[in-house]
Amino acid sequence: MSGEKLVLVEFMSFKLECDKANHICDKNQYKEATFREKVRLIFHLIYCRACRKYTARNNKLTKLIKTPDVKTVSAEDKSILKERLQKETTE
């Protein structure tokens, strides 16, 4: 086998379809992707714009879930809002 064909065969083993790339991205999010899968994903992301966007959104979602900045309404404010709503609905 010539050198060019060998390189092509090695490259083709790294080639991914988008649905498989997205699956690997999801696995990577939960630290379940193997080293080989991560490398294949990186090569795929080099030329696939749609999967880069999917990966960016996935990473953003993971970050938001890990560090939620949720603020709740105090009990006092909640009772004030409840009273206001009751007044508005009875009028």
* pLDDT score, position 7: 45
* Euclidean distance between CA atoms 77 and 35, whole angstroms: 51
pLDDT band at 2 (very low <50, low <70, confident <90, very high): low
**Structural domain count of the chain:** 1
Q: What is the pTM of this model?
A: 0.61
Q: State the average pLDDT over residues 62-82.
A: 87
Structural domain range at position 32: 3-90
Angle at 20 between CA 17 and CA 25, to 5 degrees: 120
* Residue 26: per-residue pLDDT: 94
Structure confidence by residue, pLDDT tens digits, 37-53: 999 999 999 999 999 99
The secondary element (H helix, E strand) that includes residue 7 is helix 3-14
